[in-house]
Chain A
Amino acid sequence: MAEYRLSISGATCQGCARKITQALTVVPGVSEVQVDLEQQQVQVTAKDDVPTERLQTAIAEAGYGPSEPHCEGVVNESPSSREPAATDGDVTLSISGATCAGCVRTIEEALRNTPGVKKAEMNFADRTAQVSGSASVKSLVQAVEAAGYGASEISPEDDGSEQEARELAHYRLLLRHMWFGLGLGAPLMAWGLLGGDMMVRPGETSQWVWLGIGLATLAVLATAGRHFFVGAWKAFGNHNANMDTLIALGTGAAWLYSMAVVLAPGVLPEAARHVYFEASAMIIGLINLGQALEVRARGKTSAAIKRLLDLGAKTARVIRDGREQDIPVEQVQLGDRLRVRPGEKIAVDGEVIEGESRIDESMLTGEPMPVEKNIGDKVSAGTLNESGTLIYTATAVGRDTALSRIVALVKKAQGSKPPIGRLADQVSAIFVPVIMIIAVVSALVWFNVGPDPRLTHMLISATTVLIIACPCALGLATPMSVMVGVGKAAEFGILIRQGEALQTSSKLDTIVLDKTGTITEGKPEVTAILTADGQQDDRILHIAASLESGSEHPLAQAILREAERRELSLMEASQFSALNGKGVTAIVEGQRYRLGNRRWLESEGVTVTLETQSLTDKGATPLFLATDTSLLGVIGVADRIKEDSRAAIARLRDVGMKVVMITGDIQASANAIAKEAGVDEVMAEVLPEDKAKKVKALQQEGRIVGMVGDGINDAPALAQADVGFAIGTGTDVAIESASITLMGGSLHGVADAMAISAATVSNIKQNLFGAFIYNSLGVPVAAGVLYPFTGSLLSPVIAGAAMSLSSVTVVTNANRLRLFKPGRRNQ
Chain B
Amino acid sequence: MSLLINLGGIVLVGLIIWWFWLSRPGGKKPLQVSDEVTIVVESGVYEPGLIHARAGQPLTLHFDRRDPSPCAEQVIFHGLDTSEFLDDGKVTTITLQNPPEGEYRFTCQMQMYQGRLIVD
Contacts and interface: CB of A to CB of B under 8 A. Distances in A.
Interface of A: 123, 125-128, 162-163, 166-167, 169-170, 173, 227, 230-232, 234-244, 291, 294-295, 298, 411-412, 414-417, 425, 428-430, 432-433, 436-437, 440-441, 443-444, 447-448, 471-472, 474-476, 479, 498
Nearest to B9: A444
B111 A475 contact: yes
> Which 9 residue pairs spanning A and B have beta carbons closest together?
A415-B83, A475-B110, A231-B44, A126-B91, A170-B68, A242-B112, A125-B62, A479-B109, A433-B20
A436 B81 contact: no
Given A163-B87, A231-B43, A295-B70, A472 B9 contact: no
Contacts of B83: 412, 414-416
B85 A415 contact: yes
A342 B25 CA distance: 62
Contacts of B35: none
Interface in B69-109: 69-71, 73-74, 76, 78, 81, 83-85, 87-93, 105, 107, 109
B109 A476 contact: yes
A231 B45 CA distance: 7
7 contacts: A125-B38, A173-B68, A227-B43, A230-B43, A414-B85, A441-B13, A447-B6
B23 interface: yes
B70 A415 contact: no
A433 B16 contact: yes
Contact of A163 (B42, B88, B93): B88
Contact of A441 (B9, B43, B45, B46): B9
B40 to A, nearest CB: 10
B115 to A, nearest CB: 8
A437 B17 CA distance: 8
B44 A234 contact: yes
A447 B20 contact: no
A637 to B, nearest CB: 42
Contacts, number: 148
Contact of B113 (A242, A471, A476): A242
Nearest to B25: A239
Nearest to A480: B109
Given A428-B111, A437-B17, A415 B74 contact: yes
Contact of B13 (A173, A239, A437): A437
B118 to A, nearest CB: 15
Contacts of B113: 242
Nearest to A245: B44
A167 B70 CA distance: 8
B33 interface: no
B76 A417 contact: yes
B28 interface: no
Contacts of A125: 36, 38, 62, 64, 91, 93
A482 to B, nearest CB: 9
Contacts of A241: 20
A232 B21 CA distance: 16
A436 B17 CA distance: 10
Contacts of B42: 234
A429 B45 CA distance: 14
B84 A412 contact: yes
Given A125-B91, A126-B91, A239 B24 contact: yes
A240 B38 CA distance: 20
A235 B111 CA distance: 12
A433 B36 CA distance: 32
A415 to B, nearest CB: 3
Contacts of B112: 242-244, 428, 471, 475
A230 B111 CA distance: 18
Given A238-B25, A240-B45, A433-B21, A294 B16 contact: no
B31 interface: no
Given A238-B49, A475-B111, A415 B84 contact: yes
Nearest to B22: A239
A472 B110 contact: yes
B88 A167 contact: yes
A240 B20 contact: yes
A235 B110 contact: no
Given A234-B44, A294-B70, A412-B83, A240 B109 contact: no
A658 B24 CA distance: 53
A173 B13 CA distance: 36
Contacts of B49: 238, 240
A582 to B, nearest CB: 40
A475 B109 contact: yes
Contacts of B78: 425
A295 B70 CA distance: 6
A414 B76 CA distance: 11
A232 B25 CA distance: 15
Nearest to B50: A238
Contacts of B20: 239-241, 432-433
A232 B44 contact: yes
Contacts of A433: 16-17, 20-21
Contacts of B5: 444, 447
Nearest to A413: B83
A425 B84 contact: no
Nearest to B12: A440
Interface centre among B47, B62, B111, B113 (most CB of A within 10 A): B111
Contacts of B44: 230-232, 234-235, 240, 242-244
A244 B81 CA distance: 28
B59 to A, nearest CB: 13
Nearest to A173: B68
A410 B24 CA distance: 36
Nearest to A171: B68
A234 B114 contact: no
A232 B38 CA distance: 22
Given A123-B62, A125-B62, A475-B112, 10 more contacts: A166-B88, A231-B44, A231-B45, A237-B25, A238-B25, A238-B49, A240-B114, A242-B45, A440-B12, A441-B13
A232 B45 CA distance: 9
Nearest to B46: A238
B43 A440 contact: no
B91 A425 contact: no
A294 B110 CA distance: 13
Contacts of B12: 440
Contacts of A227: 43, 69
A153 B91 CA distance: 15
A414 to B, nearest CB: 8
Contacts of A236: 19
B6 A234 contact: no
A416 B25 contact: no
Contacts of A162: 89
B43 A415 contact: no
Contacts of B114: 238, 240, 242, 429
Contact of B111 (A231, A291, A425): A425
A433 B43 CA distance: 18
A415 B86 CA distance: 11
A475 B38 CA distance: 26
Contact of A291 (B21, B62, B69): B69
A234 B45 CA distance: 7
A123 B16 contact: no
A430 B114 CA distance: 11
Contacts of B2: 447-448
Interface string B38-62: 1000111111010000000000001
A268 to B, nearest CB: 12
A448 B107 CA distance: 39
Contacts of A291: 69-70
Contacts of A414: 83, 85
A498 B6 contact: no
A741 B89 CA distance: 33
A475 B109 CA distance: 7
A230 B67 CA distance: 12
A406 to B, nearest CB: 15
Nearest to B42: A234
A244 B92 CA distance: 24
